[in-house]
Amino acid sequence: MNPPATARAAQGSAPTLRDRLKDPSLLREQCFVDGAWTGTPARAVTNPANGAELAKIPVMSTAETTEAVEAAERAFPAWAKFTAKRRSNILRKWFELIIANREDLAMILTSEQGKPLTEALGEIDIGGAYVEFFAEEARRVYGETIPTQRPDARLLAIRQPIGVCGAITPWNFPCSMITRKVSPALAAGCTVVLKPANETPLTALALVALAEKAGVPKGVFNVLTGNSSAIGKVLCEHPAVRFIGFTGSTEVGKILYQQASVGVKKLGLELGGNAPFVVFDDADIDAAVDGA
């Protein structure tokens, strides 16, 4: 057994990330598939500031991704039949748990991603706000009536969940990019298989742990870490996946676009973003160039 935090402090060792969390159970080292925590921790997740190991994550690949997609496919019919109010209540509970655990989530985020803790707290709040917004929008997935050319006919359009959605998110906003993709899909009645960036998977695993606690049924929200190209290929080519959402580089977006064309899948791509900044006349130009 590891010595308690007080003993380690007395021995002069620095507290670990787990030691610094109010709820250490949020630091997960397994993936979440079909309502179960699975996989052997193998790949280290490190603090970009000092290279210290924070945790290990599983290296999942083709077989595990197929398993996750099939779990999401099985879970889809029942989740789609939940009333809008029932899905909304579950998402609302997820939002409340995110806010209740915002300090721990921010600590995890800043430890693996590197942004200042103040910014990490802000991102957790924004990520929670996405869940809150779509929890309310779940109740307002309205249809419409459409005029026709016949006096004895009426056209009705209704909105229905599309099915299994694949989501691939980047390292720079490991909370808000996830909730911005996952919460609208869940609100609409879709199921999700998420692949977070390997640099910042711990925030994703903490979020799905809270989603599980909020009552999201097994198979509805799955999270995989590991071989990015293999996982992405399955998400793009498996016939059960009906939509792919990706934020990242244009180069990778083109690959996903090509792979998804096999099944003519719907795509939502946010590609090639940049972060410009202004250099004023009194700035140190050399330092600004180095910072770029």
pLDDT digit string (tens) for 180-191? Answer: 999 999 999 999
> What is the per-residue pLDDT across 226-274, written as a single tens digit (0 to 9) for each?
999 999 999 999 999 999 999 999 999 999 999 999 889 999 999 987 7
User: What is the DSSP code string of 35-54?
Assistant: TEEE----EEEE-TTT--EE
> What is the per-residue pLDDT across 90-146, written as a single tens digit (0 to 9) for each?
999 999 999 999 999 999 999 999 999 999 999 999 999 999 999 999 999 888 999
Strands 164-168 and 241-248, sheet pairing: parallel
Task: Tell me what pLDDT residue 275 has.
Answer: 67
Residue 12, pLDDT > 80, answer: no
Q: Hunting for tokens 């071989």 — which residue is that?
A: 227
Task: Tell me what pLDDT residue 1 has.
Answer: 45
Of 4-13, 219-228, 237-246, the one with minimum mean pLDDT is 4-13
| Mean pLDDT over the full length of the chain | 92
CA distance 122 to 220: 27
Task: Tell me what pLDDT residue 85 has.
Answer: 95
Residue type, 76: F
Strand residue runs (E) in the chain: 31-33, 36-38, 43-46, 53-57, 144-146, 155-157, 164-168, 191-195, 221-223, 241-248, 266-271
Kindly list the strands in the beta sheet with 266-271, ordered across the sheet, starting from the edge strand earlier in the chain.
36-38, 31-33, 221-223, 191-195, 164-168, 241-248, 266-271
Residue 43, pLDDT > 60, answer: yes
Task: Give residues with Cβ within 8 angstroms of 254, minimum separation 6.
Answer: none
Task: Tell me what pLDDT residue 7 has.
Answer: 43
- C-alpha triplet 41, 2, 12: angle, nearest 5°: 115
Task: Tell me what pLDDT residue 290 has.
Answer: 73
What confidence category does residue 283 fall into, taking pLDDT thresholds of 50, 70 and 90? Answer: confident
What confidence category does residue 71 fall into, taking pLDDT thresholds of 50, 70 and 90? Answer: very high
Task: Tell me what pLDDT residue 272 has.
Answer: 85
What confidence category does residue 280 fall into, taking pLDDT thresholds of 50, 70 and 90? Answer: confident
Four-CA torsion 250, 256, 258, 261, nearest 10 degrees: -130
What confidence category does residue 38 fall into, taking pLDDT thresholds of 50, 70 and 90? Answer: very high
Residue 6, pLDDT > 70, answer: no
